Structure 1
Amino acid sequence: MTMKKMWVWMLLTLFALVGEWHGTCYGFLEEERIGLLEIKSSFDPNGFTLRDWVDTSNESISNCCEWARIECDNTTRRVIQLNLWDVRDVSLGDLVLNASLFLPFKELRSLDLSNNAIVGCHEIQGVKVLSSRLTKLENLDLSGNPYNDSIFSSLTGFTSLKSLDLSYNELTGSSVGLIGLRKLEVLSLNELTIIGSTLLQSLGALPSLKILSLKDNNLSSTSISQG
């Protein structure tokens, strides 16, 4: 290949890349950009909190990794952390979560959904659908939502989890507990009303558990005597 042809090839390649990135987020996977905008539509439809999460399809090139509450891998530019704590206006009412919104983020390491009035998940698009896709998720915060004990069975597939926060929910631990989380090292169960021993007994099946927080819990005599 002559030097002239090589330069032409390099320029065409550069133009192709510019054309691909123009109107999207520089160096950012398109399906993740779309996924973020769908999350915003679900959690913050009025755009009060996620105001810098904007559709750049008709705007100049921007960097989605610089959006608030997002952290990307420095090399791959894939999203590795989403901090969505207290994003929703709770006056809008409770939210039934469509967990499939998070499926595009296959490299996600940390997900914070605390204080969003999430009462549960759609049966088909629930938390269970995530466990087979978010195989690298290590930190999950679901605190400050009115979840009930049904959330426990949805968490069993997150075998990569190292930290889990279920504080300030409506969990009683009366009939189900936590199983399958063999890598879990940190568990927060603060300010719950534990009326049964099932949850406390299940903690013995978490071989990697190093830190357990049970602050301000209302433990019934049943859970203590049988736990």
Structure 2
Amino acid sequence: MFLGKYLIWVMLLLGQICGSKSCIKKERNALFELKKYIISLSEEGKSNDHLTTWTNDTKSDCCMWKGLKCDPTSGRVIELSISLPYLKLKESALLNLSLLHPFEEVRSLDIDGSQFSGLFDDVEGYRSLRRLRNLETLRLSSNSFNNSIFPFLSAATSLTTLSLRYNDMDGSFPVKELRDLMNLEVLDLSGNGFNGSIPIQEFTYMRKLKALSLVGNEVFGSIELQGVCKLKHIEELDLRRNKLVELKNLTNLELLDLSRNGYNGSMQEFTHLKKAKSSRSKWQ
């Protein structure tokens, strides 16, 4: 009797340690369809090294493919990277978000450096990203996205980290377009073409925001910071290469970068920043 209980305990333990041996068939097929779609958008009609491991071979464990991480128990994809820096896509290539819907448990999605110029979903439309209910991190940096993607992003209300750095966005800052993302903790809008004044007080809709980067947007007007004191949880604020008016009442601030600004105020304004210290930025 003791031996029987011991064997059961060992089997349960091995099940927890080993977990699932492969990702589920639904997601394997979805990965292969995503690969075929990307190849159809490439000028050479080819894949790149990142996608060569994505095969339709049913004996291949798709949890071991490049750019993927699976939950060890369920075998569901929880991290997906389709960063394609060395694959030249056709001009005005659009990412079909409906191809991502099978990854229902995905938490992190990395599309950095993939040269996409827009998003679309001919079934769900702007509500497409709402299907990814567990998505927390979305990286869309170093693409050719413009302001047209904001209606899609507003549906991703589960996001805690959003990176849009180095794209082709311009005009006034899209604070109102992102106001539904109330769970955001890290927002990177650096390296775009935004201009005019920044209504920083509008960021207060993002009550959990801890790190905000607005660096290098070639802002022509000055940054209006009158409402910045309402960002109670902000810890990191990167304002490099902008025109600073004033900054005060950020008592939780730990990292502040004002380099290459036109700021000429007194440093006495920052003596209240008792928590300020040297730390690694959340967007690095």
TM-score tier (shorter): 0.7 to 0.9
1:212 maps to what in 2? Answer: 212
Aligned residues: 199
Q: CA RMSD in A?
A: 2.5
AA aligned opposite 1:159: T
1:27 maps to what in 2? Answer: 22
Q: 2:149 aligns with which of 134, 151, 156?
A: 151
Q: After the TM superposition, which residues 1-227 of structure 1 pair with which residues of structure 2 at under 5 Å, given as runs?
A: 27-44=22-39, 45-49=45-49, 50-57=51-58, 61-86=59-84, 89-90=87-88, 92-122=90-120, 124=122, 128-174=126-172, 176-177=174-175, 178-197=178-197, 200-221=200-221, 224=223
Q: 149-158 vs 74-83, which deviates more? A: 149-158
Q: 187-196 vs 169-178, which deviates more? A: 169-178
Any gaps of 5 or more consecutive residues in structure 1?
1-24
User: Cα distance 1:207–1:69, how it changes in 2: closer, same or farther (>3 A)?
Assistant: same
Greater share of helix: 1
SS of 1:220's equivalent? Answer: coil
Once residues 167 and 51 of structure 1 are traced to their aligned partners in structure 2, the CA distance between those partners, rounded to angstroms, is 28
CA deviations over 1:75-123 (Å, ceiling 9, x no partner):
1000000111125622533311111000000000000111111111235
Under a length normalisation based on structure 2, what TM-score does the superposition of the two structures give?
0.63
Cα distance, 1:159 vs structure 2: 1.3
Q: 46-55 vs 122-131, which deviates more? A: 122-131
Cα distance, 1:36 vs structure 2: 0.3
2:281 maps to what in 1? Answer: none
* 1:165/1:188 contact within 8 Å kept: yes
Under a length normalisation based on structure 1, what TM-score does the superposition of the two structures give?
0.78
AA aligned opposite 1:165: S
SS of 1:150's equivalent? Answer: helix
SS of 2:215's equivalent? Answer: coil
Q: Percent identity at matched positions?
A: 35
SS of 1:65's equivalent? Answer: helix
User: Cα distance 1:200–1:168, how it changes in 2: closer, same or farther (>3 A)?
Assistant: farther
Once residues 220 and 22 of structure 2 are traced to their aligned partners in structure 1, the CA distance between those partners, rounded to angstroms, is 53
Once residues 48 and 166 of structure 1 are traced to their aligned partners in structure 2, the CA distance between those partners, rounded to angstroms, is 24
Any gaps of 5 or more consecutive residues in structure 2?
1-19, 40-44, 227-284
Cα distance, 1:195 vs structure 2: 1.5
RCO higher in 1 or 2 (8 Å CA, sep ≥ 6)? 1
Once residues 174 and 211 of structure 2 are traced to their aligned partners in structure 1, the CA distance between those partners, rounded to angstroms, is 21
Cα distance, 1:176 vs structure 2: 4.1
User: Cα distance 1:139–1:127, how it changes in 2: closer, same or farther (>3 A)?
Assistant: farther
Once residues 89 and 97 of structure 2 are traced to their aligned partners in structure 1, the CA distance between those partners, rounded to angstroms, is 21
